[in-house]
Structure 1
Amino acid sequence: MTVFIMVADVFTGAHVWQETAPRLAAAGSEVHAVQLTGVDAGRPATSARIDLETHIADVIAAIDAVDTASDREIVLVGHGYGIHPVLGAADRRPQRIARVVYLDCGMPQNGVPALAAVPDQALRAQLAEWAQRVECESELAPPARDEWQRWGSTAGISDAALDRLTALAAPQPLGTLLQPLRLTGSVVAVPTTGMLCTRNGVSIDLVQRLVDLGDPMLTALADSQVTFFELPTGHWPMLSCPAGLADALLRAAAGEGRSLRPVGAGDPPAHLRPFPLDVPELPRDRREHVDLYVPDAEGPRPAVVFVHGGPVPAGTRPTPRDWPTLVGYARLAAAEGMVGVTLDHRLHDIADYERAAVDVAAAVELARADPRVDADRVALWFFSGGGLLTADWLTKPPAWLRCLAASYPILAPLPGWGLTGSRFRPARAVAHAGTLPVVLLRAGRETPEIAATVEAFVTTAKDCGAHLELVDVPNGHHGFETLDPPEEIRPALHHAMRSVVTHLTS
């Protein structure tokens, strides 16, 4: 028999599992939804100070209550904040735990408080500042009905369920978010399952790409003891799809799920696969964080600056400007008589868009200052997560910017990115683009979450009369240059490049 011990996210108690628990029980499992001290009405505080250790003790008590003499395997499930007390407890009782399920949450590290995992960046900064002025015994008020999105996507939740979530929400003891998680490392031996809610902005394919980039913290996710599931919903699957969640939990307990490909296994990772077009070899001219590919042509030439996506972990080697796709685009531009420009920027984390924008602006100015570049004729071409960086250029296009292009871009922050109030919102900024030509390569088989941002951009562009040209890749996936058959990609790439060159030379 499997014993599920489940721990809820901030502001919520054992009640959130009321539709999932009976389904697990009906399948023959034993289920315990942990009541957290100071959050659940059934477990009132016995002292003024409630912190993460308090909630770890709550989970340990639930583990110790399971009869050790019986042949029952304990599966701990942590949702959002709940993964912190789950890991703290599993680290102290590793021999009792068969599996830990990370339900739409991050990967907490030793010494890091749960505050670091608050998804909304502006809210996280506000809480950090507030915490310096109040006692740890203080409480954080629960969100109003229209504020839950700041804690995770509410996609899929019915109005009635959202009303119930709001009505039953309880204040969160501030100390639970501020006290660092302490781990000895024993929990590393426990098998794990990541359960990703795709409408909150994360998918298995995305995690695989991050693993492929070589981030040391993520390479362990390709271990044989780690499995993954996807749920096509927002951050609260126990409210939006309890049956699907219960089924996934049962399968996870049985050791099922998708495994990731280890780094270096099989074919090269997507970002290191060949560019789909044959382009002439051309050496690079490296200047600081910028590479120029200069054609053999007279006089200063227009330039196309290619801005990679991300986040890309800081330790990734080779860096993006040496990836075959970026080099291929730059050489393709040079074959058209343009100066192709690639760069590295510091978008290593979702919180890095500000400094990445600074890096891009500096790279553009470095390229424009080169005597081989016509400083009055420049195009910017963005990719994937770099698409958010288009916002600054769309909001107030400089006179020298003759065209803006984007391939499979993300054009609004994804739900779990926590960028509420951020200026990096191209789907809004395009209303200010004026006469700036925009060439958008749209992947027909884009992920639904990213496709929604593209469609919002297209709708706004059409409503405001922006100069938008759509170049569709009907069967293309996100990152289609290295994922899809070259014959399906080449026409779109040639078309888009010709359009950009036309805007630069007319």
Structure 2
Amino acid sequence: MDVILIPGLWLDAASWDAVLPPIVAAGHRPVPLRPPGLGAPSDSAAEVGLADWIASVTAAVDAADGPVVLVGHSGGGNAAWGAADARPDRVARVVFVDTVPPPDGAPINQFEVVDGVVPFPGWDFFDDEDVHDLDPAVRAQAAPLARSVPERIPHDPIALGDARRHGIPVTLLMGGLDENALEAQLAQWSGHVQEYTAITDREVVRIDSGHWPQFSIPDRLGGLIVAAIR
């Protein structure tokens, strides 16, 4: 089965490199994507929005010979869910990596815009729970993979319109949250909890990692993605 891997903000297809071996060994075909506008200057990135990221995922779905699994890390989860909404009959499962399905109208997040793009803010910007398992060597290795994203990407509201997406099986691979902790957190976000509870077949698996398991424990993340495919 094609496993379409969608990176989060600032990351490209290479961010999945260390996760691929378990997926290949299990007989699947990984398809890591490079989001449109990544690292582009503001003049060429200005018109690139979340809909373009979703369209790039949808194009990969359309290019596959059969049903696909979508894997979205962090902000890439919005692109995965948007593509699932666009092609509910082609997606066998959506795997969210340390993120949750967004409701209609939700953006990814708010980040500072500099010269028309959103640059990677550096590891020190993030809470310890997100980066505690990234040692200095891993941070130094991963940081060069981070590139600016177009201004609109994290701020555009997602447009969802096909309720059939709620019938797609969903696995949430959460860094430090189990099912009870995740649902307690979602209870504070009305739109998100409604989207989550509308999904008829969902499971939550704790990774025991920070926010970037593809860098800190890639073999485990790859194994968990394989385990979710069934």
TM-score normalised over the length of structure 2: 0.86
* Match runs of 1:384-399 below 5 Å: none
Whether contact under 8 Å (2:54, 2:80) holds in the other structure is: yes
Residue 46 of structure 1 and its aligned partner are, at CA, apart by 6.4
* Structure number with bigger Rg: 1
Match in the other structure for 1:174: 151
* Match runs of 1:95-494 below 5 Å: 95-115=89-109, 124=110, 127=112, 138-147=116-125, 149-150=126-127, 153-184=130-161, 185-198=163-176, 202-209=177-184, 218=193, 220-221=196-197, 225-254=201-230
Aligned partner of 2:81 among 81, 84, 87: 87
Residue 222 of structure 1 and its aligned partner are, at CA, apart by 8.6
Whether contact under 8 Å (2:8, 2:75) holds in the other structure is: yes
Structure 2 residues without counterparts, runs of 5 or longer: none
CA distance in structure 2 between the partners assigned to 1:92 and 1:51 by the alignment: 16
Whether contact under 8 Å (1:143, 1:166) holds in the other structure is: no
Whether contact under 8 Å (2:166, 2:198) holds in the other structure is: no
CA distance in structure 1 between the partners assigned to 2:51 and 2:199 by the alignment: 29
Q: Find the residue that maps to 1:54 and give its secondary structure.
A: helix
TM-score normalised over the length of structure 1: 0.41
User: RMSD in angstroms over aligned alpha carbons?
Assistant: 2.8
Residue 229 of structure 1 and its aligned partner are, at CA, apart by 0.9
Q: How many residues align?
A: 225
Once the two structures are superposed, what CA deviation does each residue of 1:102-150 show, in whole Å capped at 9, x if it has no partner? 11013311112222xxxxxxxx4x73xx69xx7xxx1012123433x25
Match in the other structure for 1:496: none
Distance 1:188 1:224, change over 3 A: closer
Match in the other structure for 2:48: 50
Distance 1:157 1:253, change over 3 A: same
CA distance in structure 2 between the partners assigned to 1:142 and 1:75 by the alignment: 28
Residue 152 of structure 1 and its aligned partner are, at CA, apart by 6.6
Once the two structures are superposed, what CA deviation does each residue of 1:336-391 show, in whole Å capped at 9, x if it has no partner? xxxxxxxxxxxxxxxxxxxxxxxxxxxxxxxxxxxxxxxxxxxxxxxxxxxxxxxx
Residue 49 of structure 1 and its aligned partner are, at CA, apart by 1.3
Once the two structures are superposed, what CA deviation does each residue of 1:197-225 show, in whole Å capped at 9, x if it has no partner? 11xxx322213556899x78537549651
Structure 1 residues without counterparts, runs of 5 or longer: 116-123, 255-506
CA distance in structure 1 between the partners assigned to 2:185 and 2:141 by the alignment: 36
CA distance in structure 1 between the partners assigned to 2:172 and 2:139 by the alignment: 25
Once the two structures are superposed, what CA deviation does each residue of 1:313-335 show, in whole Å capped at 9, x if it has no partner? xxxxxxxxxxxxxxxxxxxxxxx
CA distance in structure 1 between the partners assigned to 2:180 and 2:102 by the alignment: 21
Residue 160 of structure 1 and its aligned partner are, at CA, apart by 2.1
Match in the other structure for 1:390: none
Whether contact under 8 Å (2:167, 2:199) holds in the other structure is: no
Q: One-letter code of the match for 2:3?
A: F
Distance 1:93 1:157, change over 3 A: same
CA distance in structure 1 between the partners assigned to 2:218 and 2:199 by the alignment: 28
Structure with the bigger RCO (C-alpha within 8 Å, sep 6+) is 2
CA distance in structure 2 between the partners assigned to 1:110 and 1:163 by the alignment: 36
Residue 55 of structure 1 and its aligned partner are, at CA, apart by 0.7
Q: Percent identity?
A: 26
Once the two structures are superposed, what CA deviation does each residue of 1:463-492 show, in whole Å capped at 9, x if it has no partner? xxxxxxxxxxxxxxxxxxxxxxxxxxxxxx
CA distance in structure 2 between the partners assigned to 1:46 and 1:173 by the alignment: 9
Distance 1:24 1:139, change over 3 A: same
CA distance in structure 2 between the partners assigned to 1:109 and 1:151 by the alignment: 27
Q: One-letter code of the match for 1:103?
A: V
Residue 178 of structure 1 and its aligned partner are, at CA, apart by 2.0
Q: Find the residue that maps to 2:152 and give its secondary structure.
A: helix
